[in-house]
Amino acid sequence: MGWRVFEEQAPTYEPWYHTRRGRKADRAERALFERLLARFPQARSVIEIGCGTGHFARWFASRLSFVVGLDRAPAMLAEFRKASPKIPIILGDAHRLPIRDGSVDLSALVVSLEFMDDPPAALAEAIRVATQGALLIVLNRWSCGGISRTIGPQRRRRILSQARDYSLRSLKRMAIKAAGRRLQRILWTSTLFPGRLWKISLPIPVGDVLGVALVLSPLQAVTGD
């Protein structure tokens, strides 16, 4: 696993969003992010960790004052720069983010935690740099897509076959450990349900993706500064 699979797939990554399946996923996940982002009305800045070609960073830029993308794959960032030259990007490691504590209001990981070498460490870093919260969209283990990635057609796909899917329970457990005393609430919903229900979001953990918002207390409240 790791970033090199994305380095190899960079030229074909963004065009996937123009396929029929890609358009459906994009629409459903953007609606999911709208709901999650609404929980943070005071947020003005975000870092997208594992930003890839910048597909969702561009969406964030239409809603927040400051957006920065970070990725480990140079080829992905090259595609990002072609499409969005005005959005700042960082070539860096999600496990050791090169920015200070509390540098942004929010951190976001969009189907990227599944491909990290050390997901708990990456999530802890995402929490460290955020003052208000972390937004996660992750592949759901207990879904039709999760089954397909295990024993169905998706197991033959170069990227999806390498994903480390999560259940809601395992994701919550990781978040509680990573955030520690800073964690105030875990808010979640799910989307991309089978059939005609694909575009709705419901608090039922069987959609292909889970959307999670970790609401954090300010750093000062924990450190006592």
pLDDT digits (tens, 9 = 90+) for 30-59: 999 999 999 999 999 999 999 999 999 999
Token pair recorded at residue 174: 């990781």
Please give the residue range of the domain that contains residue 129. Answer: 4-223
What is the number of domains present in the chain? Answer: 1
Q: What is the pLDDT of residue 153?
A: 67
Q: Report the distance separating Cα 18 and Cα 23, nearest Å.
A: 6
The pLDDT of 60-80, averaged and rounded, is 97
The pLDDT of 99-123, averaged and rounded, is 96
For residue 119, what is the domain's CATH number? 3.40.50.150
Q: What is the pLDDT of residue 56?
A: 97
The pLDDT mean for the chain works out to 91
Q: Is 44 helix (H, G, I), strand (E, B) or coil?
A: coil
What is the distance of C-alpha 34 from the center of its chain?
14
pTM: 0.91
Q: What is the pLDDT of residue 159?
A: 66
